[in-house]
């Protein structure tokens, strides 16, 4: 029976791109991954490989972070239009005024584009620190948008917020801790400003997902019910209860289950209603973050996915609030959400190239191996096992394959044991390992051709895993993968008309055992290896992978492990059918990274020059060689911290 040819649809199903890609990413008939971008009033699917090719021709090296402003714009549109539709359908009387939490991605380009694209919705910003507030005040000048101030606040922070309020911006100071109120009221009295206050409340409703501990009773920030009532009483005593305008809660990030979101909204709305009944002016309910995206494409209530979409999220929130407020006879509040991950995750894609591969397969076939007549019995057993397997290949059953597999492991382990006792020499052990891998390779091919029950192949897949060495640092570009086992979609960006024939773990170029990716979403599940093509590096080919959905947190959290710095960055758009590159930012040079850890490159150059000169004086090198060595050292200081081709 002839095996059907591999198609791009097969690749799309294998890597799940049409599930996690959210219609932004797809595979073209050419076998290349595409991104959907805006071209005037139309959209155009642009090949990622062609984008990289254009940058390569301009001298840009991989690894490379590509930003797509159109995806940011569409994410803002989807969230705001989702609430607009739910408000209209539910006959809700309040409005939606979302804010973007700057901490999720603080890059200047992100903040500039969010304020520009979000202005038609009066989409605001959330600041959790003094630097973030300064960034917000520099870019958010819409008098109808909110600037929500969370986090710990000193006098300068409070004064900045109050001065911005004086200038006509809608700045809300959120009480995160009970002790903040007195300081805020003191600064308000001194500056003659009646503030717009919010209060963060700790919900009792259970959350879900990896960040469930950041909400509820276990939350680091926020007031419990007793502290909340103390704030109300204190403001009433000061004649400032009308300044309390907003209730805020934070349930967590990437909440996978819509039921947990609805439960939290219901509890928060009842607290909001209670504050209105206490006499607080109120009018705004801030639901915090939590809107999840699907990193794994599995569409379930897992930590890497969600069992709902944006439309359902918006509709359920509106419905839950409406039910509680209608029962209490309280007007509908205006709504804020602090969705960051859902807004910026799609925005950035990391492109890396494979530098090398460590294959777990024999270098020689059994036909090429010659055994000495006095070869150890165990080595001869492996040799004869392989010959016998090939001889009776047409009659081999799945049970026989299992037996061959078990025997190969037994003989290999015994051979290693005898090597440790000095009964087998180094070359004999090497021959045994070659035979072992040859047998396992043959068993794997036989299982694939005749069908298997799953368990046998699973064990072989684990054993016969290749290591692909990628030109990147997990710690710099994917810190959440290392720190919290975050799943990110990984796949080739080209050659997708070909069937992948290797199973791989992806290693970075740090010298750390944690610098690898060994958990992948594909084939409708989470797997320890990723199906990839033979890179054919030895033939001069370049094999490129894309790591997707890295726009949230990764740029900010990255560290300098092994002194590997920021990657090259470029923003891409389409005009009149042509790709336009803008904001081409060079990644960190070696010299720049060294200054981050307190080295002085000029001093280092002087020190090395002195070393070279002493080598000339002692006649270990010539003066001409010194010049060449110094030129190489200086070029190294100027160079990219990653592998340069």
pLDDT tens by residue, 166-213: 999 999 999 998 889 999 999 999 999 999 999 999 998 665 555 455
Question: What's the CA angle centered on 170, arms 281 and 150, to 5 degrees?
Answer: 85
Residues of the chain with pLDDT under 70: 1-3, 205-220, 301, 361-369, 450-459, 461-462
CB contact at 8 A, 8 and 491: no
At residue 1, the pLDDT reads 47
CB contact at 8 A, 333 and 265: no
Tell me the torsion sign for CA atoms 424, 430, 433, 434.
negative
CB contact at 8 A, 251 and 215: yes
At residue 364, the pLDDT reads 63
Listed residue (162, 218, 153, 216) closest to 187, CA to CA: 162
Rounded to two decimals, the pTM is: 0.91
At residue 206, the pLDDT reads 60
- CB-CB neighbours of 364 under 10 Å: 13
Residue 123 CA to residue 642 CA, distance in Å, equals 38
Helices and strands: H and E segment counts in the chain: 22, 23
**Strand ranges, E, within 435-590:** 466-470, 490-492, 502-507, 516-517, 520-522, 525-527, 530-532, 544-547, 568-575, 578-585
Measure CA of the first residue to CA of the last residue in the chain; give whole Å: 45
Q: Which residues pair with 407 in a beta bridge?
A: none
């Amino acid at each position: 029976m002839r095996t059907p040819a591999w198609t791009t649809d097969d690749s799309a199903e294998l890597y799940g791109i049409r599930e996690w890609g959210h219609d932004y990413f797809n595979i073209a008939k050419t076998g290349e991954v595409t991104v959907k971008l805006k071209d005037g009033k139309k959209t155009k699917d642009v090949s990622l490989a062609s984008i990289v090719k254009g940058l390569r021709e301009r001298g840009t090296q991989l690894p490379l972070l590509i930003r797509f402003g159109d995806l940011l714009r569409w994410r803002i549109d989807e969230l705001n239009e989702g609430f607009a539709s739910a408000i209209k359908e539910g006959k809700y009387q309040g409005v939606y005024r979302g804010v973007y939490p700057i901490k999720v991605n603080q890059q200047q380009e992100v903040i500039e584009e969010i304020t520009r694209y979000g202005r038609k919705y009066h989409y605001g910003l959330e600041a959790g620190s003094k630097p973030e507030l300064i960034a917000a005040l520099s870019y958010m000048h819409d008098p109808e948008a909110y600037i929500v101030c969370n986090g710990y606040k000193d006098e300068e922070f409070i004064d900045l917020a109050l001065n911005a309020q004086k200038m006509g911006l809608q700045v809300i100071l959120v009480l995160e801790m009970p002790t903040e109120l007195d300081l805020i009221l003191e600064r308000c009295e001194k500056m003659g400003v009646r503030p717009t206050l919010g209060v963060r409340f700790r919900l009792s409703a259970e959350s879900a997902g990896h960040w469930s501990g950041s909400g509820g009773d276990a939350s680091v920030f926020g007031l419990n019910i007793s502290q909340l009532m103390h704030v109300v009483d204190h403001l009433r005593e000061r004649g400032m209860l009308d300044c309390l305008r907003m209730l805020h809660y934070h349930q967590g990030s990437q909440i996978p289950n819509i039921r947990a979101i609805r439960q939290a909204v219901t509890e928060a709305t009842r607290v909001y209603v209670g504050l209105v009944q206490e006499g607080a002016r109120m009018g705004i309910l801030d639901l915090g973050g939590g809107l999840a995206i699907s990193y794994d494409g599995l569409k379930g209530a897992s930590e890497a996915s969600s069992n709902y979409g944006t439309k359902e999220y918006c509709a359920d929130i509106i419905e839950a609030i409406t039910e509680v407020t209608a029962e209490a006879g309280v007007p509908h509040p205006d709504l804020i959400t602090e969705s960051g991950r859902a807004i910026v995750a799609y925005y950035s894609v990391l492109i890396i190239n494979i530098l090398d591969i460590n294959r777990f397969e024999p270098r020689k076939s059994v036909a090429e191996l010659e055994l000495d007549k006095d070869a150890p019995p165990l080595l001869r057993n492996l040799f004869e096992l392989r010959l016998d397997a090939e001889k009776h290949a047409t009659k081999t059953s799945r049970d026989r394959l299992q037996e061959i597999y078990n025997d190969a492991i037994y003989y290999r382990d015994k051979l290693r044991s005898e090597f440790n006792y000095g009964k087998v020499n180094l070359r004999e052990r090497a021959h045994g390992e070659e035979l072992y891998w040859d047998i396992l390779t043959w068993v794997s091919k036989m299982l694939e051709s005749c069908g298997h029950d799953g368990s046998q192949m699973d064990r072989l897949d684990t054993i016969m895993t290749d290591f692909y060495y990628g030109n990147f640092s997990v710690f710099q570009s994917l810190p959440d993968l290392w720190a919290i086992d975050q799943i990110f979609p990984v796949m080739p960006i080209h050659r997708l008309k070909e069937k992948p024939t290797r199973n791989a773990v992806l290693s970075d170029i740090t010298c750390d055992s944690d610098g690898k990716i060994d958990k992948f979403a594909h084939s409708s599940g989470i797997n320890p290896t990723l199906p990839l093509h033979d890179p054919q590096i030895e033939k001069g080919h370049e094999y490129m992978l894309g790591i997707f959905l890295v726009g949230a947190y990764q740029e900010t959290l990255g560290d300098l492990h092994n002194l590997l710095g920021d990657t090259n960055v470029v923003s891409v758009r389409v005009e009149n059918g042509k790709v336009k590159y803008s904001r081409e930012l060079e990644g960190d040079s070696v010299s720049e990274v060294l200054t981050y850890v307190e080295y002085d490159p000029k001093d280092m150059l002087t020190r090395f020059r002195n070393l070279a000169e002493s080598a000339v004086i002692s006649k270990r090198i010539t003066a001409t060689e010194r010049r060449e060595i110094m030129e190489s050292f200086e070029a190294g200081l100027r160079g990219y911290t990653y592998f340069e081709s």
